[in-house]
């Protein structure tokens, strides 16, 4: 934990966990060959659709954590990941999250053009 990841109670703020989980999803994808470059070449992006999170114990300053992630379901246009965040020293489960992402095409790049009727 870094100081800036803590709230006023000296605990990791909930939003920080979601940043870690997003990073874990993309690291897992890269380990299976889905690098950012390949995703771009395949015209694919993953957007977060929802989180179902349970917090069991707080992470605190200088705690080391371990994140275990697994893709538990893949459907045609979405996937569900299970993430568990553990205190690396004690092994205590700090948080569990079921995260759903949507697989989308990259939007087309708009080209500048003159407004209609502006002659």
Residues 6+ apart with CB under 8 A from 115: none
* Per-residue tokens: 100: 């759903």
Percentage, residues of the chain above pLDDT 90 = 26
- Rounded to two decimals, the pTM is 0.76
Fold classified for 3-105:
Thiol Ester Dehydrase; Chain A (3.10.129)
> For 29-77, how does the pLDDT look when each residue is reduced to its tens digit (9 = 90+)?
788 788 888 888 888 888 888 999 999 999 988 889 999 988 888 888 8
Give the separation between CA 30 and CA 24, rounded to whole angstroms.
10
Give the separation between CA 119 and CA 98, rounded to whole angstroms.
54
Q: What is the pLDDT of residue 84?
A: 96
Q: Where are the domains of the chain?
A: 3-105
């Amino acid at each position: 934990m870094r100081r800036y990841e803590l709230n006023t109670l000296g605990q990791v703020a909930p939003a920080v966990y979601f940043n870690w989980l997003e990073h874990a999803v993309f690291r897992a994808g890269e380990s299976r060959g889905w690098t950012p470059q390949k995703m771009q070449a395949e015209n694919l992006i993953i957007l977060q659709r929802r989180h179902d999170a349970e917090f069991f114990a707080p992470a605190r300053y200088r705690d080391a954590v371990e994140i275990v992630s697994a893709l538990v379901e893949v459907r045609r246009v979405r996937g569900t990941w299970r993430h568990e965040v553990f205190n690396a020293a004690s092994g205590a489960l700090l948080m569990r999250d079921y995260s759903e992402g949507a697989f989308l095409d990259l939007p087309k790049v708009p080209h500048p053009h003159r407004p209609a009727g502006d002659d």
